[in-house]
């Protein structure tokens, strides 16, 4: 996952301003990748993970 993968979310975050809460890109990797300003790359497998 690269910085260019979140360009659209970054543009939206900038347009929304303080109302922006969080943006995520789901991908097939295994690590949570933090990007600037509440943007994260999240592994798709987390959707099905059981949390305790």
Phi, psi of 32 (to 5 degrees): -80, 125
The list of the chain residues with pLDDT below 50 reads none
What is the pTM for the complete model shown? 0.71
SS (H, E, C) 7-45: HHHHHHHHHHHHHCCCEEEEECCCCCEEECCCEEEEEHH
**Cα 50 → chain centroid:** 20
């Amino acid at each position: 996952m690269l910085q260019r993968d979140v360009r659209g979310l970054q543009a939206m975050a900038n347009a929304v301003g303080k109302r922006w809460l969080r943006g995520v890109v789901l991908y097939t990797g295994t690590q949570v990748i933090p990007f600037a300003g509440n943007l994260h790359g999240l592994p798709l497998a987390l959707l099905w993970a059981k949390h305790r």
